Amino acid sequence: MSKFLDELDKIGEEKFGKEIYEKAKSEARVNLEIMDFLTERRKSLNISQEEMGRLLKTTQEQISKYENSNNSPSLERFMKILDSLNIDLIFVDRDKKKELYHT
């Protein structure tokens, strides 16, 4: 598997350039981690994908796409997902040492 990933990295770097490819890979990793966290939270609350779809006025299929990172929610929908799962979002401005909360 490692050889496959190394080859995939080589192809990505050749096609897009190392900097662009590494940035895209890093962003994809963060997206996967966030969606894994939200999926686990949904499951811990015993909310089905179908019920989550109803809460967000979308389909179970769309929720599945979000959770499998086949599709990304809009910012508005992302905030609704957080609200539905009782999750607060905190932004920290490291320069000003100031926090902005979304609850």
The predicted-structure confidence for 54-74, as pLDDT tens digits, reads as follows 999 999 999 999 998 889 999
The predicted pLDDT at position 60 comes to: 98
Q: Which residues pair with 102 in a beta bridge?
A: 89
Answer whether residue 28 shows pLDDT above 80: yes
Whole-angstrom distance, CA of residue 42 vs CA of residue 57: 16
The predicted pLDDT at position 4 comes to: 64
Q: Evaluate whether the domain defined by 2-74 bears CATH number 1.10.357.
A: no
Mean pLDDT of 36-55: 97
The predicted pLDDT at position 50 comes to: 98
Domain boundaries, the chain: 2-74
> Mean pLDDT for the chain?
89
pTM of the model: 0.77
Burial (CB < 10 A; 0-12, 13-18, 19+), residue 38, is buried
